[in-house]
Amino acid sequence: MELIDNPLERTTAATDAVLAVLLLLSLMYLRRIGRSDRWKANIWSWSFGFLMLGAALGAIAHGFKMSPKTNWLLWQPLSLFLGLTIAMFVTGVMHDLAGREVSRRALFIMVPLAIAFYITKYAASLFMTRSFIIFIIFEALGMIFALGIYAYLTFRGGLRGAALMTAGVLVTIIAAAVQASRAVRFTLIWRFDHNGAFHIIQMFGILLLLFGLRADLKNRMND
């Protein structure tokens, strides 16, 4: 396969690839420290894993020359992985708010909901060019919900790492807003557009979330 000529697409692909590697390392670390609450570690591992798969496919879709049909086909599993990322994310939030049993019930709601959003996006992509806005709406609803819950848990106390989780969600929302704006372009050695900026900001969000998860899981291990 041949690399794409567009320098903005190349930096988007490169940042997608770096994001995928960061998520893989975060997932591996989370698995290692998650013995104190294996259910929680599993939920967040799946969230990071689905996002990692989406980032890896994004690196291919943005970085290599291919026919429009092939590119469109790549975006189908990519979109599904992103939806499932949000589903597992919200399930993890419900675990921190209300415990394992409530999060299990949330899982059986969120996964079908993510699939329904994917089907809606797929149908929309057949007749509109900016069908990705459907995922952005789904992501925004999930992240706003998560921000409210973690802000509440931060002020209430009782969850170690809640402030870091709040910060991580807030950074994720900022990243999504930058991507949705489509207006960001800058040069920092290489040229970046809104997608590359989104990936860079999201990396900081992932690290904040990982540190927040680590604080709680390590605290439980010491109890």
pLDDT score at 62: 95
Distance CA 159, CA 170 (A): 18
Amino acid type, 25? L
pLDDT score at 102: 97
At the topology level, CATH places domain 7-222 in Rhopdopsin 7-helix transmembrane proteins (1.20.1070)
Distance CA 149, CA 135 (A): 21
Residue 161's nearest CA partner among 109, 106, 207, 107 is 207
Q: Calculate the CA dihedral of residues 83, 84, 90, 92 and round it to 10 degrees.
A: -160
Strand, helix or coil for residue 4: coil
Angle between helices 132-156 and 100-125 (to 10 degrees): 160
pLDDT score at 1: 73
Largest distance between two CA atoms of the chain? 55
Q: Could you tell me the pTM of the whole model?
A: 0.93
Distance CA 66, CA 54 (A): 18
The structural domains of the chain, with segments of one domain joined by +, span 7-222
Distance CA 55, CA 133 (A): 18
Residue 6's nearest CA partner among 152, 140, 195 is 195
Residue with tokens 């899981």: 217
Residue 47's nearest CA partner among 13, 96, 12 is 96
pLDDT in single tens digits along all 223 residues of the chain = 788 989 999 999 999 999 999 999 999 999 999 988 999 999 999 999 999 999 999 999 999 999 999 998 998 999 999 999 999 999 999 999 999 999 999 999 999 999 999 898 888 877 776 667 777 888 889 999 999 999 999 999 889 999 999 999 999 999 989 988 878 888 888 888 999 999 999 999 999 999 999 999 987 766 5
**Which two three-digit tokens encode residue 155?**
């002020």
